[in-house]
Amino acid sequence: MTRRVLLVNPNRMKPPVTPIALDYLAHALTAQGLQAEVLDLCLAADWRQAVDEGLPGAGFDAVGLTLRNIDDTTFASREFFLPDFKEVADRIRRRTPSPVIVGGSGFSVMPEEVLSFCGLDLGIVGDGEDSLPLLVRRLAEGLDWRGVPGVIYRDGPRFRHVAPAWGLLDGPGAPARTAVDNRRYLAEGGMGSIETKRGCPKACIYCVDAPGKGRRPRCRPPRSVVDEMQALLAQGIDCLHLCDAEFNIPSSHAEEVCREITARGLGDRVGWYAYASPAAFDDASAALYRRAGCRGINFGVDSADDVVLHALGRDFGGDDLRRTAAACHRQGLVFMYDLLLGGPGETRETLRRTVEAVKEMSPDRVGAAMGVRIFPGTRLADLVRASGPLPANPHLHGHVDGNEGLFSPVFYLSADLGNDPAGLLEGLIGGDRRFLFMKPPQAGDMNYNYNDNSGLVEAIRQGYRGAFWDILRRVADAPGVRRDGPGQAPMPGP
């Protein structure tokens, strides 16, 4: 008997971002003989009606619910998405007796807390491709499912966990990418998406990549990645954002992917963007990336100050930023430096040094996020807890009372920055239009919080394509002139 699974995307943020997880999961379910359907609430005119119509009673063996974002990780807005997620989950549960299984990058950070908050019983931490089909089958066939890798389930008053398997991604097959409306995401979200590997061995004190992806890099064969790119291209998806936390960790794999793209002659047919690390980047990488169709890199540099970078657990310093910037300039690669300001060790002096140094390195854009979201399970959380109760800590902001688990947003913002850190930062930036802010609505057209960003929605409607920061750049630099498509050449609109 064919088992049926409904995969639901409850994330309705605009501009919309492809729920690539559901495309990957649907492919895996189908490949393993199950039937998968996607209910994408982001693309529904009325999500409540879509849930009511999409859930015909007991028709599914399971409903899979993806939770990508817990909150917007933005100090200025501190938007918490769980109440909305719970509303969707509640409505689904009223419409079906089928088991509801939760997963996703947000879920994996604090699975127990999410399930408790939503009154749900079952989830999968980490990769879903192998575990979800196995769990659904075992549930449907009345077999013992309690050993499925990554599973977390309610057992009386507590939860039980099974460790994720972190399987290798070395199979030759590529996901078909046909379960999600990728064309519509390109038209309304400005880009498609693809993942080349999972896992990061680095030790940044605030990062939550490890709970969802593991600590060991698991790289896909470059041929499989580029097969998937071609499948997307066949659907007209010619602008992509890589979904790797950092594309060039390890750099050898990133280079192999670039070579494979170039060897297949796709470098001028597909444009792509990535997050990357400045630790392992030079002229050769910039040249290789560009030939392979790279249209822009967002380097998550955090700071330009060696003391702060060390405190954040980063494995690079100011010199790496300078080398990377020079390489991008020489090779004509558009790039952004994303700063995460106000963390442990930040002072008025380190802030000044960072802003001045970055201005001198002259990236095309600088993301000036201030305040670091403290997630449970990170070294930053340990550090904060070790210094006493949350409400007594002068560096903490947000929901500090009765929230020792750090479930709803709590931010670290160094008290050494004084009473008006935002004013201090704005003064240092001094109206430099290359800086983007996480501070809606005051940031205006320089707002790079992508949570309900109407300026971006409008630019994409007009035909802009690309990473959101690069769309903001092009809109600001040449208002009224559309510059889209691979290699910066104009490209037909949606």
Chain contacts with ligand B12 (rule: CB under 6 A):
11, 13, 17-18, 20-21, 24-25, 64-66, 68-74, 101-106, 108, 124, 127-129, 132, 191, 193, 195, 208-209, 212-213, 241, 243, 245, 449-451, 468
Six-digit token string for 78:
């501190």
Nearer to ligand B12, 191 or 254 (CB): 191
Nearer to ligand B12, 22 or 327 (CB): 22
Residue 419 Cβ, how far from ligand B12 at the closest point, in Å? 25
Residue 70 Cβ, how far from ligand B12 at the closest point, in Å? 3
Residue type present at position 345: G
What are the b/e assignments for 204-216, b being 16+ CB within 10 Å? bbbbbbbbbbbee
Taking the C-alpha atoms of residue 468 and residue 15, their distance in angstroms, rounded to an integer, is 9
Nearer to ligand B12, 103 or 318 (CB): 103
Residue 165 Cβ, how far from ligand B12 at the closest point, in Å? 11
Residues in a beta bridge with 101: 64, 122
**Residue matched to tokens 């540099």:** 301
Six-digit token string for 292:
């392979």
Nearer to ligand B12, 298 or 414 (CB): 298
Strands (E), 321-446: 335-341, 365-370, 372-373, 396-398, 410-412, 435-437
Residue 81 Cβ, how far from ligand B12 at the closest point, in Å? 8
* Other C-beta atoms lying within 10 Å of the C-beta of residue 186: 23
Nearer to ligand B12, 217 or 344 (CB): 217
Nearer to ligand B12, 112 or 318 (CB): 112
Residue 14 Cβ, how far from ligand B12 at the closest point, in Å? 7
Residues in a beta bridge with 396: 412
Taking the C-alpha atoms of residue 228 and residue 389, their distance in angstroms, rounded to an integer, is 49
Residue 428 Cβ, how far from ligand B12 at the closest point, in Å? 23
Is the peptide bond between 441 and the residue preceding it cis, with omega within 30 degrees of 0? Answer: yes
What are the b/e assignments for 257-278, b being 16+ CB within 10 Å? bbebbbebebbebbbbbbbbbb
Residue 109 Cβ, how far from ligand B12 at the closest point, in Å? 6
Nearer to ligand B12, 318 or 333 (CB): 333
Nearer to ligand B12, 72 or 305 (CB): 72
Residue 418 Cβ, how far from ligand B12 at the closest point, in Å? 25
Alpha-carbon dihedral sign for residues 432, 436, 440, 441 = positive
Q: Give how far Cα 273 sits from Cα of 107, 200, 334, Å.
A: 25, 19, 10
Is the peptide bond between 250 and the residue preceding it cis, with omega within 30 degrees of 0? Answer: yes
Residue 139 Cβ, how far from ligand B12 at the closest point, in Å? 12
**Count H helices, E strands: the chain?**
18, 19
What are the b/e assignments for 393-403, b being 16+ CB within 10 Å? bebbbbbbeee
Nearer to ligand B12, 129 or 255 (CB): 129
Report which residue's Cβ sits closest to ligand B12: 103
Helices of type H across 100-204: 105-109, 111-118, 131-140, 182-189
Nearer to ligand B12, 102 or 292 (CB): 102
Residue 47 Cβ, how far from ligand B12 at the closest point, in Å? 15
Taking the C-alpha atoms of residue 477 and residue 78, their distance in angstroms, rounded to an integer, is 29
Six-digit token string for 403:
């929230």
